[in-house]
Structure 1
Amino acid sequence: MTDFFAKEQAAYPDIAPRYQQLQDLHARKLYHELTGELEAFVRDPMTHKSPLNLVNLYQDFIRTFQDKLNQIRLVSICSEISTQFADPAKAQAFMEQLLGHLSNKTAHEAVLLCTMQIALLKFRRGLDFLAEVKTTIDENKHVIESLVGAEPVVHAAYYRVACDYYSALGPADKFYKNALMFLAYTQYDDMRPEERFDLAVNISIAALTGDGVFNFGEVLATPILGALENTDKQWLSDLLHAFNKGDIDRFNEIVGQNSKEFNAQPALVTKQEYVKEKVALLALMVLVFQRPSHERNISFREIAEATRLPQDQVEWVVMRALSCKLIKGSIDQVDGIVRVTWVQPRVLDNSQLQELVARLDGWEKKVNSTLLYVEEQTPELFQ
């Protein structure tokens, strides 16, 4: 092992102190500290040297004591090392070699993490391996969902594979759901800038076009759309905010100002009519949400105005909302009124929360006013 470090330090003098630190920690058997140093070492682009110095680090150093390391962190370290292989097939073989050393009995989560990393590499190898990737996703879905107290990186790895698969093959709604789960288990700062940008673009398009995706507040509550700010794709973020508010005028304005970019997205062009239908449905939901529960008998005229539809299409949009289970209620065709008894709960953004706070303040004032009136009219009850 001494010979290994001497050779590496001579080959890469600019990072020789880093190699020396690894050797010293190992000599002192400080495996916890050594694990942290190894993580920092393999993640630092400055330590990635040709030819395959990180792979050599594993083969000649880490492998000799890998059983003494936290097995999940070991898999994460090796995943970083595998990026040195230009050929994903070689990277896959490297990770499969590691998987053979892991014990499913004592390191079940590490085995699962390693399996997901291998699936990701298979996905990158192309069409011939997509069936195997889908099998891995399906076989481990219940396993992931039943994990309690597992490291977030294990969940994130599963949802990352599912994201990549459904991003490539669809459907959009499955990609959207898995992307949200990936974001729930992944720190924004841990993602590379290009990874954030690609995910922000894909999740925006999936939200707009995905069947049954109406709760945009879930993605707006994450920082991912910040990756689109001050880029040529910021209009996607603006479009999502307009959708979430059911603001059809703003939607039309953004599309008009960015028609070239909009038409450059095949998914948006293909489902353009559905996207327009969806924003109308969201406008209806917002209209219902903004009214108190005891004032939800809404006229056809009001719905037509909110959805920017002709009045003779109001019944159609309400029927669509009922069939999508966005609202519950009934239609009075004689009086031209829709009676809404329930609207699908949504994750609210800051402006919508402020509206709710204002309504609660109004309710509190009404309650206080009623209490004062009762006290004045029936003072004997309070004596």
Structure 2
Amino acid sequence: MEFLAQEQKIYPQLLSRYQKLQELFISKLYHELTEELLQFVRDPECRKTDPEPNLPRLYREFIKLFQQKINAIKLVIICTEISSQFQEPSQSQLFLENLLSQLDEKASKASLLCQMEISRLKLQRGSAFHEDVKVFLEKNQSVVEGLVGAEPVVHASYYRIACDYFGIVGPAEKFYKNALMFLAYTDEEVISEKEKFEMAQNLSIAAITGTGVFNFGEVLATPILKALDGTPKQWLSDLLRVFNRGDIDKYNEIVSQHSEEYFAQPAFVSKSDYIKEKLALLALMRLIFERASHDRNVSFVEIANVTRLGLEQVEWLIMRSLSCGLIKGSIDQVDTLFRVTWVQPRVLDTAQLSALSCHMEEWEKKVYSTLLYVEEQTPELFQ
């Protein structure tokens, strides 16, 4: 093709890439051509801006000729990557709106994906479009949740917009929930290092400050937090890990070491009282979790020691844990005991799994000891 031949002359370093596209097009191998285009538009080395952005030109002069012959969802993904080469979000939005008008009516999931990417671009255009994005998210939440057999990218796109939106307007707990859903549907390899770094920071802060967020195992298990390792922001992921353990002393130690950065975060400052309460609740949950199942009567004195609270505050903390649905039990005011019957299940980290393993070993020994006792006392049953 003349266009591809011209591109090879303008960008000789991409000669083999353009030749590959040409060969697949001539052979009418549209599936292979689609995959090659995906790799091409995602490769930073293939993004050129001199004399003008090359990807929009690639769409106009080449992809548009056969776009009806390729998978509609992958076409939207390709065009989303192409749209990022425009200087202004408004230009990118117009480009995708043009594409949306050309999609086959039967390609409902591709159309939905395209609408999602348009909404994400609206979000980038500022607060004037926040209401539009909010309405779109509310309207399509049940649609996305009810999708059957859709490619993960469709779900991922929705949750990406949602976490971006709630990351801007709040609350933290909604950002946290949608960010985890986005990560669950997204291949880590397609997330840029910059985006991983920013999301790891925001997730750590949202987990600590988010109302009603007490289970951090899911975020601690995701590789996204590794983006902070070895960087000046590693203290945030360290903070989240000790917060998850309810380790008040270690938490205060990290805050003290990074006090300037910690108090520079508005969320930490505005929710400081709630963070202390949440940390005390997690310390209480850890205390109960680490006890044997037959030893769930916890004294107020022990709770006060672990949570670093005064004795007069212990009953309030217990009532708070009950109202949050974290723990079930009853208060014995005469003996100043908290009789626990249930603790909210949690995703366990390595240290907690190790503790659970020890509990299982102890239980195994007790079962074996009981078996020996029964055999000794009732030998006739084993003859």
Instruction: Return the TM-score normalized by structure 2.
Output: 0.97
The Cα shift of 1:7 comes to: 2.0
C-alpha distance after superposition, 1:174-199 (max 9, x if no partner): 00000110111112222111100100
Map of 1:247 onto structure 2: 247
Tell me the amino acid that sits aligned with residue 312 of structure 1. Answer: E
Q: Give the Cα separation in 2 of the matches to 1:275 and 1:235.
A: 17
Gaps of 5+ in 1: none
C-alpha distance after superposition, 1:311-355 (max 9, x if no partner): 111011111111111111111111100111111111101110111
Q: For 1:86, what is the secondary structure of its paired residue? A: coil
Q: Give the Cα separation in 2 of the matches to 1:369 and 1:333.
A: 36
Map of 1:102 onto structure 2: 103
Tell me the amino acid that sits aligned with residue 37 of structure 2. Answer: L
C-alpha distance after superposition, 1:354-374 (max 9, x if no partner): 111111111111111111111
Tell me the amino acid that sits aligned with residue 232 of structure 1. Answer: P
Residue 26 of structure 1 pairs with residue 18 of structure 2: no
The Cα shift of 1:149 comes to: 2.4
The Cα shift of 1:148 comes to: 2.1
Q: For 1:254, what is the secondary structure of its paired residue? A: helix
More moved, 288-297 vs 334-343 = 288-297
Instruction: Return the TM-score normalized by structure 1.
Output: 0.97
The Cα shift of 1:6 comes to: 2.3
C-alpha distance after superposition, 1:43-72 (max 9, x if no partner): 111111121211111111111111111111
Tell me the amino acid that sits aligned with residue 101 of structure 1. Answer: Q
Gaps of 5+ in 2: none
Map of 1:14 onto structure 2: 13
More moved, 242-251 vs 43-52 = 43-52
C-alpha distance after superposition, 1:16-58 (max 9, x if no partner): 2211110110000111111111011111111111212111111
Q: For 2:294, what is the secondary structure of its paired residue? A: helix
The Cα shift of 1:115 comes to: 1.1
Q: Give the Cα separation in 2 of the matches to 1:178 and 1:245.
A: 23
Map of 2:34 onto structure 1: 35
Map of 2:57 onto structure 1: 56
Tell me the amino acid that sits aligned with residue 22 of structure 2. Answer: Q
Q: For 2:102, what is the secondary structure of its paired residue? A: coil
For 1:281-360, list aligned pairs within 5 A. Answer: 281-360=281-360
For 1:167-186, list aligned pairs within 5 A. Answer: 167-186=167-186
Q: Give the Cα separation in 1 of the matches to 2:62 and 2:98.
A: 15
Q: For 1:231, what is the secondary structure of its paired residue? A: coil
C-alpha distance after superposition, 1:245-284 (max 9, x if no partner): 1111101111111101101101101111111111000000
Q: Give the Cα separation in 2 of the matches to 1:364 and 1:279.
A: 33
Map of 1:205 onto structure 2: 205
Percent of aligned pairs with the same amino acid:
62
More moved, 191-200 vs 328-337 = 328-337
The Cα shift of 1:125 comes to: 0.7
Residue 230 of structure 1 pairs with residue 234 of structure 2: no
Q: Give the Cα separation in 2 of the matches to 1:195 and 1:249.
A: 32
Q: Give the Cα separation in 2 of the matches to 1:95 and 1:28.
A: 28
Q: Give the Cα separation in 2 of the matches to 1:191 and 1:381.
A: 64
Tell me the amino acid that sits aligned with residue 57 of structure 1. Answer: L
More moved, 169-178 vs 349-358 = 349-358
